[in-house]
Amino acid sequence: MAILETETQGQVLVARFNHANSLNPMSPELENAIRSICRETDDNPAIRALVLTGGNDRSFCAGGDFNEVAQLSGRASVERHIDRLIDFYCTILKVTKPTVAAVGGYAVGLGFQVALSCDWRVGSPETKLLMWEVKHGIACTIGGYMLESFVGRAAMSDIIYGCEAVPVSWAANHKLLHEVVDSGHVVETAIARAQLLSEFPEITLRRTKETINQRFIAGLQKVALQAKEAHVAGFASRAAQQHFKSVLGQSH
């Protein structure tokens, strides 16, 4: 079973996350497949837009893979993890063609950040956008930077310290979700939006994306150092490991 299922609809490449777990945790295998599909989108002139989704009946991405993150120990492994995350988000941000996230179900932590790395987001009344890392012993430095860039400091603080799902109506008003449709039509709506964006003049859209995302990428790269220090301290405290031990123990 492929970890990422792809199909083309017109000039739109649709990539569906297909983790064995229907919540679609972001495993290294899935991450690498998304990286590859981003490169394919840019390299293939027949593709004019990309849709990332977990599908209509599965979650978009319920965060990082606990089994992987639970193994982090020591500065070197934590720093490699942060460098990889920053590079992953930048890979999506650097796609020169329109990217649309079809966000069904949960988009938690890393999954929320993947959605924020796309140009346009479609959700449903059942979409759950969450940044709840802090209460689970994980620093939320990267997510905090992203959210502050999108909605400002006060709203960012409410999301990362409140640790509750963002109300869908609020998310729509503040463009964390650009469109909210019935849960059975999230993917189709995202494809329609991608098709519309694919018809824009290529050079002007690409140059606009490059200019806007360059500033965002620079900010992510700047916050990486602080993120490393925060995560090293967090993992040294063992708070995150205790949470992972509890969650993984309940899953067996």
131-184 residue pLDDT tens = 999 988 888 999 999 999 999 999 999 999 999 999 999 999 999 999 999 999
Instruction: Identify the band that residue 70 occupies on the pLDDT scale cut at 50, 70 and 90.
Output: low
Per-residue model confidence (pLDDT) at position 79: 87
Comparing C-alpha atoms, which of 82, 131, 103, 123 is closest to residue 24? 103
Q: Minimum mean pLDDT among 3-7, 49-53, 61-65: which range?
A: 61-65
| Residue 11 maps to a domain | yes
| Residue 33 maps to a domain | yes
Q: Inform me whether the pLDDT recorded for 251 exceeds 50.
A: no
Average pLDDT, the chain: 91
Comparing C-alpha atoms, which of 49, 55, 43, 48 is closest to residue 18? 55
Per-residue model confidence (pLDDT) at position 69: 64
CA atoms 208, 152, 107, 109: torsion sign: positive
| Residue 223 maps to a domain | no
What's the burial of 211, exposed, middle or buried (CB within 10 Å: 0-12/13-18/19+)? exposed
| Residue 148 maps to a domain | yes
Query: When comparing pLDDT for 66 and 147, which is higher?
Result: 147
Q: What percent of the chain is predicted at pLDDT more than 70?
A: 90
Per-residue model confidence (pLDDT) at position 138: 86
Residue with tokens 């193994």: 71
| Residue 31 maps to a domain | yes
Q: Inform me whether the pLDDT recorded for 80 exceeds 80.
A: yes
Per-residue model confidence (pLDDT) at position 147: 98
Rounded Cα distance, 135 and 143, in Å: 14
| Residue 240 maps to a domain | no
Per-residue model confidence (pLDDT) at position 16: 98
Q: Distance between alpha carbon 71 and the CA centroid of its chain, in Å?
A: 22
Q: In this structure, how many other beta carbons lie within 10 angstroms of the beta carbon of residue 108?
A: 24
Query: When comparing pLDDT for 248 and 193, which is higher?
Result: 193
Q: Inform me whether the pLDDT recorded for 230 exceeds 90.
A: no
Buried residues in 37-66 as b, exposed as e (16+ CB within 10 A): bbeebeeeeebbbbbbbbbbebbbbbbbbb
Instruction: Identify the band that residue 111 occupies on the pLDDT scale cut at 50, 70 and 90.
Output: very high
151: containing domain = 4-198
Rounded Cα distance, 41 and 187, in Å: 18
| Residue 171 maps to a domain | yes
Mean pLDDT of 70-76: 70
| Residue 209 maps to a domain | no
Please count the structural domains in the chain. 1
Q: Inform me whether the pLDDT recorded for 1 exceeds 90.
A: no
Return the CATH number at 96.
3.90.226.10
Per-residue model confidence (pLDDT) at position 244: 44
Report the 3 state secondary structure along 191-242. HHHHHHHHCCCHHHHHHHHHHHHHHHHHHHHHHHHHHHHHHHHHHHCCHHHH
